[in-house]
Amino acid sequence: MQDNIIEGRLGDIPYRTSPPLLFVYTETANLAAGAYDWPNGVKAAFTPSRPINANSLYLFNTMDFACDIDQADYQSAISTPLNFSMYIQSDAGSPALREPIPLVKYYNTLPYVLNILGTELLGEAYQNSSGISPAQGFTFNRLMGDVSGNLLQTPTLVGKASITATIVFSVQEITDKNFINDFVSRSEAAISGRSAKGGVWT
């Protein structure tokens, strides 16, 4: 579990030089044939676009999720439960960074553990990255997201032409080389930007 990597280490984070960031992903489903559908596999960039810099370590802390409707209306309209997956742009065709998140209810500051080390993402895959030039590829890469699932237009949603799902992650971006080196050396499991796992949701 990736939780063990940062256990007891949060007090050592150089917070003064590592301000918290918000990574925001939104995706809208328009009403069609009495339903709001988020098709699987439609990956899009976070808004605003969030680069993963080569010399940084990213510690994800919490996640929030909601749509622009009441939670009760959301849950009563679920036909196919929504899920969220996250990818790195150069690996958008590969498995998600971690298992999909079931969006069965709204979440507020839900613990979410994911560690991305920028240097782990450098490789030949950048040369063919959609939307990124080879020169940019070795500087940063973008996070991509994908919401999939289906909501029905229940009576309380009559007149609602579209529904927007919003997922927000609180992230600590670390640039301090000493901390990053110490972080990696203390890790009990290999850190990989393409396959970091861990954390639970309830």
Show the tokens assigned to 105. 């209810």
- In one-letter notation, the amino acid at residue 57 is L
pLDDT tens digits for 31-74? 999 999 999 888 888 876 667 777 788 889 899 999 999 999 99
Domain parsing of the chain, residue ranges:
23-169
One CATH from 2.60.120, 3.40.50, 1.25.40, 3.30.70 for 23-169: 2.60.120
**Torsion sign (Cα): 181, 184, 185, 186:** positive
pLDDT given at position 113: 81
User: pLDDT higher for 135 or 17?
Assistant: 17
90, 125 Cβ separation under 8 angstroms:
yes
Enter the pTM of the model.
0.77
User: pLDDT higher for 86 or 163?
Assistant: 163
**Distance (Å, rounded) from C-alpha 81 to C-alpha 12?**
39
